[in-house]
Structure 1
Amino acid sequence: MTASLDNQTNQCRYLIVLGNFHHMGGAERQAFHFIEYLRTTLNVPVAVLGWFGEGPLTMPLRELGCEIFHFPYNEKKTGRRKFLMLYQLAQFIRHQIKPDVILPFVSVHSKPVCLIWKWTGAHYIWWNQQDEGRGLFKSKMEQRALNNAVHITSNSRAGAEFISENYDIPYENIVVYNNGTPIPEAHKLKPIWRDKIGVKQNQLLVSMVANIIPFKDHDTLFRAWSLVIKSARTTSLPLPILALAGHLLDAKHVLGLKALAFDLGLGDSVRFLGPIDTTNELLYESDIVVHSSIKEGCPNAVCEAMALGRAVVGTDISGIRQALGDDHVELVYAKPHDPVDLADKINTLLHDEALRKELGAANLQRIKTSFSIQGMNEFLFRLIQKAS
């Protein structure tokens, strides 16, 4: 970096609109990666704005040297109250935070700040689409917010396609990038999950990391798993185990899945783990990772499994293709809503350890070359600098 760019960079004050200090989801993780780059590599002043007060994420941000701000934004307000709140938000940002660059990291936060950013004194803002279109309603206000953004960015082709198709914005005008994915030091991961959930060393473990909600399509996965179990019973192999890690957000849906598991005779071959903090340990102890979702951006759970050298089987949708690539199409992609195809893909890998290792090594290499955190950070920074 040249001295002149150093000077220009250090004069810019960045505002990251995190919205939430209580939960580290995929978008928050990407924001942290970029904040760390701005603070530790470029020594850029960074402020972070949230709506709901202090939380577990506040301390790590302060340790990076970020200033923390709170504004009681309520997206459910309508009419005059909403316009008044947006005006107050603009004034708060302009007079209290005084940023040059404003970076929301999800669409629900992009909407309000893209509407009001021209009154904040900043000279750059992006709309960042970190999912495939959830929480968007194709409204005129969303159209106006998108049109106000200097750049529209998306971490997935699926997200860019949604914006393009529903808001009359040419796809080529949307900046698509790959999320940065850290590569854990596998030798430091402690093997805890097999013992914890009763998986014997000679049993194969298949896992899926995703909240238990309808569009993740655990229904198709369960129907596929019943075929996997039926096939396993015709061999001398011990029955494999399916472990599901994720928030049980929809109680009715979870009860329906448990009833389906009972009806399919899955018995003790499925484990509901709930939300876990040791995702990497589970993925690393798994022989195969599966992702049956029918609606995704570029799923972090798939990329994290790839970074641990795991073989992954997923639904053939745009977001999962972006993660896994096109080198092993016939082996790793199952048709959406097709339990027979999904079971075939899982069975092929369950019965071929060498193939699992080959696919896992290819996945790790893809993360290193196409999903590096440094590459993402440098790309996003250059994008902002070019427009600023």
Structure 2
Amino acid sequence: MARALNRALVVLDGLRLGGAERQAIVLARGLSEACGVDARIVGFQGPGTAAALCEKHGVPWSVLPFVWERKKNQRIRQLLGLAMEMRSYSPQLVLPYTMKPNVACGLVWRLTGARLCMWNQRDEGRQRLPPRWERLAVKLTPWFASNSQHGAEFVIGLGAPPDRMRVIHNGVLPEPPRSDRAEWRSRLDLEETAFVATMVANLHGYKDHATLLNAWRVVVDHLQTGSTPTLLLAGTPENTALALKAQAHDLDLGRSVRFLGAVEDVSGLLAASDCCVFSSQYEGVPNGVLEGMAAGLAVVATDIPGVREAVGDSGCAILTPPGDAERMAEAIL
């Protein structure tokens, strides 16, 4: 009889909270609560907001510094150092998420004392590393999972055996709202009759909030009677935050757009909304769409493979071409 795997190391690129990090924490909680596994989250960078979520749910976490060096000799030393640091946790199961952890752990997991490693693909193939190292890591990794079919096809294209790949779509665990619709609208000074659309996503380039802001200018121009429609952007400010705020100013959107930053009460915010919008150009299966669906909202989003997998055939009618602000505005209206 095979021995149980009762110590798991879930490896992230950083401890900033995004979709992959949230899913990793859900997995760590599930392994601990349902399977009795001692699961720990480690991040190559941090700490950040993901660490706070770990603490909230009683998931142990730590920072394990690692940088993918450009020079080969330095890179090998870094990888060996990573293996020794991971070994100190005595893992039996290694579960990396996203490209850098997938490749690094694929290369060194056998040196950590672990008995199993599973590559977790969370997107369509971004933040690439040198192809030779990617393919070697795939060759050395025994099992693979992806949250989308197109993510699985990407890893298979790197050499992963199809019979060793599993597609496991994201799940969401909506928490009870901390504040109800009326409380959220009062806090944001929104009239009950105002049309409110919300996008839950960190502010970085892949999410293409710029197209959504252009679309929102069209929406506001068309809905000039009654309460002002309002777009709520909930997410950690990252590399596009300043440019997006400048764009909103240039478009004269005023109070019709609110930059809320990271929001803990996502369930409450969505309960105060009338529509979920999502303008990303690249995704696995996005939490920001799944959370909107779980809240019972109509979803207007970009027509990309991961979103199509999330909404299914019945939802495809309100998907719009990536980068097309006019079409997105039409779908919202």
For normalisation by structure 1, the TM-score amounts to 0.75
Equivalent runs, 1:1-388 vs 2, <5 Å:
8-9=3-4, 12-18=6-12, 20=14, 22-51=15-44, 71-76=64-69, 78-94=71-87, 96-137=88-129, 139-165=131-157, 167-169=158-160, 174-186=165-177, 189-191=179-181, 192-233=183-224, 236-250=225-239, 253-330=240-317, 332-347=318-333
Aligned partner letter, 1:85: Q
d(CA) in 1 for partners of 2:249 and 2:56? 48
1:302 match: secondary structure: helix
Aligned partner letter, 1:72: P
After superposition, the Cα gap between the structure-2 partners of 1:153 and 1:75, relative to the gap in structure 1 and judged at 3 Å, is: same
1:327 match: secondary structure: helix
Aligned partner letter, 1:230: D
1:60 CA drift (Å): 7.2
d(CA) in 1 for partners of 2:94 and 2:124? 22
1:287 CA drift (Å): 0.5
- Output one character per residue of 1:233-267: Cα deviation in whole Å (capped at 9) or x when no partner: 2xx442311111223322xx445444443444433
d(CA) in 1 for partners of 2:139 and 2:36? 31
Q: Check the 8 A contact 1:218/1:292 in 2, yes or no.
A: yes
1:313 CA drift (Å): 0.7
1:283 match: secondary structure: helix
- Output one character per residue of 1:122-155: Cα deviation in whole Å (capped at 9) or x when no partner: 2211111122323113521111111211112111
Identity of aligned residues (%): 35
Q: Check the 8 A contact 1:39/1:64 in 2, yes or no.
A: no
* Unpaired segments ≥5 residues, structure 1: 348-388
- Output one character per residue of 1:68-89: Cα deviation in whole Å (capped at 9) or x when no partner: 6654323346322221222233
1:160 CA drift (Å): 2.4
d(CA) in 2 for partners of 1:157 and 1:309? 25
Q: Check the 8 A contact 2:142/2:164 in 1, yes or no.
A: no
After superposition, the Cα gap between the structure-2 partners of 1:205 and 1:100, relative to the gap in structure 1 and judged at 3 Å, is: same
Q: Choose 1 or 2 for highest CA Rg.
A: 1
- 1:379 counterpart residue number: none
Q: Check the 8 A contact 2:28/2:41 in 1, yes or no.
A: no
2:314 match: secondary structure: coil
- 1:361 counterpart residue number: none
* Unpaired segments ≥5 residues, structure 2: none
Q: Check the 8 A contact 1:17/1:102 in 2, yes or no.
A: yes
After superposition, the Cα gap between the structure-2 partners of 1:101 and 1:49, relative to the gap in structure 1 and judged at 3 Å, is: same
1:116 match: secondary structure: helix
- Output one character per residue of 1:261-296: Cα deviation in whole Å (capped at 9) or x when no partner: 344443332222223323222211110110011111
- Output one character per residue of 1:298-343: Cα deviation in whole Å (capped at 9) or x when no partner: 111111111111211111111111111111322x211222222211
1:163 CA drift (Å): 2.9
Aligned partner letter, 1:154: S
2:313 match: secondary structure: coil
d(CA) in 2 for partners of 1:15 and 1:258? 38
Q: Check the 8 A contact 2:210/2:244 in 1, yes or no.
A: yes
Aligned partner letter, 1:341: R
d(CA) in 2 for partners of 1:125 and 1:107? 14
d(CA) in 2 for partners of 1:241 and 1:69? 39
After superposition, the Cα gap between the structure-2 partners of 1:185 and 1:62, relative to the gap in structure 1 and judged at 3 Å, is: closer
d(CA) in 2 for partners of 1:295 and 1:77? 26
Aligned partner letter, 1:212: L
- 1:357 counterpart residue number: none
- 1:376 counterpart residue number: none
Q: Check the 8 A contact 2:13/2:98 in 1, yes or no.
A: no
Q: Check the 8 A contact 1:184/1:307 in 2, yes or no.
A: no
